[in-house]
Structure 1
Amino acid sequence: MPAPGSLRTEAFINTFSLEVSAKAMPALRAEADRIPRGTTISIPYLASEDDDARLAAARTVRALGFEPMPHLSARRIGSRVALERFLERAASEAGVEQCLVIAGDLATPAGPFADSISIIEAGLLERSGIKVVGVGGHPEGHPVMSSDDRWQALEGKCRAIETRGMAPVIITQFAFDADIVLTWLAVLRARGVNVPVLVGVPGPASITRLMRYAAMCGVGASASMLARYGVSIGRLLGTAGPEIFVDRLVQGLTDAHGLVSPHLFPFGGIAPSLDWMEQYRRRASGAGR
């Protein structure tokens, strides 16, 4: 009989979501048979891709048997009409019922939406048939928000989503230190926020690529934090996978942490990320025998 720890590991690793950009849809199509049907595929909002590309990606995701979750970048949306048109097309063309709302990286909004709560409160999501709304979580902090402001904003967004008859889910930025994530989850639950959490997990990639993405996304990547992840600054030409991070995270999770699953960022490619998932799953199954 598998040990309780291995059961928890298998349950954790077998329920995952995946972040795939519009330009990576050919790679997703090539690996689709390795991904369980119904898996949520999160489609990031990249400035280099337009709405047509994002909608084409959502259609591909749906055609492959997965659940598309396009991102809505508030400050990059030019008008209420543009958002309404995108949501209508997403629903009619790809059956989209989930989305992730983020503020976006523009200093000055391009239109009427200054932050993610302004999209939630616009009334367009539920009117377009959206049932699940993702919001961002930042276990390692936020570059421009204090801790108190960050918690208040997260709690307010979850309440607003529920008030409008939709289900909130929190998707965290990827991280390198599992203990920081566990502490953040404990505080989240202590504050009475009991919605599902998808913890960002970096897929296997070169160390230089991981550090580049960390710098782009404002993720902490100090030498001590990377060492806890299993990366030595002295060997930047190597590659690293998240097994140490996932091991520590799963070992630390308890029922008190609520519903938690991994959200995989395939920085090194979709195929290597799925290879890692399969190897980790086999290791977890073998450990329980």
Structure 2
Amino acid sequence: MTDARTFPTDSPPARLLEDFSVEITGKDADTFIASAGSLPPRTRVNVTFLASETLDVRRAAARTVASHGHLPMPHVAARRLASVDELQNSLSAFADDGTSDSLFVIAGDPATPVGPFDGAADVIEAADLRAHAVTRVGISGYPEGHPDIPDSELDAALDRKVQSIRDQGIRGEFITQFGFDTEPVLRWIEYVRAKGIDWPIRVGVPGPAGIKRLISYASRFGVASSAGIAKKYGFSITNLLGTAGPDRFIEELAARYDESSHGDLKLHFYTFGGLKATAEWIQRFQEPTR
């Protein structure tokens, strides 16, 4: 499955790919430069928060994204912030660089916070976002739940984040954890819409990557079983060589997507196989059939 299927430019799968987003780490800034031209102008590029990377590294990556005509969305990881001052200094730095317009706020990986913030809701409530030129905040969505957080806590945190973002007069959007099955994704989207939340939802999709790597990431984040991935992606669980792309997932999602009930849906690519490979795969996928 190294080659993506192609669809007419006006088909549902192709339309679902309009205004997709991708992500990089700070250390990916140099490779991003080589891939930037493969992305449509003003593509949203998330700059992730890694514990091994300093604020200066993330700032430089966000500036690189902006300098190549794309839209950076720096991540702020609540549990990795040592103090309120560190939060405010980070926001001020992105504002000074002109890269603070869109932020993605997550809890982060540490089981125990290094500072006063236990989750994304705490950061959103504590930060004076508009004073730092923030106009859009992205938050996480978990269609298949979280391996370490009960659904009731996820739901309560979602409500807090949505209310705080609304109270600050800032636009919000969701980026979901990546998945391999459209059923829980669509079910979660319908649940969010039933709560009266009409924000754009970016559905997380694994970019093309080695099959072993896909299974490894899925196991790490608890989003699917190896057998489930094999069934949805069409490869044999006994042969884990080669690369798999998300064409089947996107085609099925597009076929079941109903804008009147699901609202504004876009795709967000987790670039496990690398940004260049993901950008090239998307280009092939979007090519009109001949």
Structure-2 change in CA distance of 1:6 and 1:182 (3 Å): farther
2:203 maps to 1:199: yes
Of 111, 114, 119, the match for 2:115: 111
CA RMSD of aligned residues (A): 1.8
Does 7-16 or 101-110 show the bigger shift? 7-16
Write the distance in 1 (CA, Å) between the matches of 2:129 and 2:220: 29
**Tell me, what secondary structure is at the counterpart of 1:86?**
helix
Structure-2 change in CA distance of 1:276 and 1:4 (3 Å): closer
Deviations 1:66-94 (A, max 9, x none): 11111111011011111111111111114
2:269 maps to 1:258: no
Deviations 1:148-186 (A, max 9, x none): 332232132112101111111000011011122112112
Shift of 1:286: 2.2
- Residue 44 (structure 2) aligns with: 40
Structure-2 change in CA distance of 1:40 and 1:179 (3 Å): same
**Tell me, what secondary structure is at the counterpart of 2:267?**
strand
Deviations 1:11-60 (A, max 9, x none): 21122001111111112111111212221110111111111111111111
What is the percent sequence identity of the aligned residues? 39
Of 76, 82, 86, the match for 2:80: 76
- Residue 286 (structure 1) aligns with: 289
Write the distance in 2 (CA, Å) between the matches of 1:104 and 1:157: 15
Shift of 1:5: 9.9
State how 1:184-263 maps to structure 2 within 5 Å.
184-255=188-259, 256-263=261-268
**Aligned AA for 2:289?**
G
Misfit runs of 4+, over 4 Å: 3-6
Of 264, 272, 281, the match for 1:267: 272
**Tell me, what secondary structure is at the counterpart of 1:140?**
coil
Does 199-208 or 269-278 show the bigger shift? 269-278
Of 4, 8, 18, the match for 2:12: 8
**Tell me, what secondary structure is at the counterpart of 1:144?**
coil
Of 150, 166, 172, the match for 1:168: 172
Deviations 1:163-216 (A, max 9, x none): 111111000011011122112112221222211000111011101111122233
Shift of 1:6: 4.3
2:149 maps to 1:145: yes
Write the distance in 2 (CA, Å) between the matches of 1:249 and 1:148: 26
Q: Is the 8 A contact 2:106 2:119 kept in 1?
A: yes
Question: What TM-score do the two structures reach when normalised by structure 1?
Answer: 0.93
Does 207-216 or 248-257 show the bigger shift? 207-216
Q: Is the 8 A contact 2:8 2:14 kept in 1?
A: no
**Tell me, what secondary structure is at the counterpart of 1:235?**
coil
Structure-2 change in CA distance of 1:186 and 1:216 (3 Å): same
Q: Is the 8 A contact 1:75 1:113 kept in 2?
A: yes
Question: What TM-score do the two structures reach when normalised by structure 2?
Answer: 0.92
Deviations 1:253-282 (A, max 9, x none): 001100000001111111211121111111
State how 1:83-162 maps to structure 2 within 5 Å.
83-162=87-166
Q: Is the 8 A contact 1:5 1:251 kept in 2?
A: no
Shift of 1:138: 0.5
Write the distance in 1 (CA, Å) between the matches of 2:71 and 2:9: 29
Write the distance in 2 (CA, Å) between the matches of 1:218 and 1:244: 21
Q: Is the 8 A contact 2:107 2:120 kept in 1?
A: yes
Of 57, 62, 69, the match for 1:58: 62
Number of matched pairs: 283
Q: Is the 8 A contact 1:179 1:248 kept in 2?
A: no
Query: Structure 2: 5+ residue runs without aligned partners?
Result: 1-6
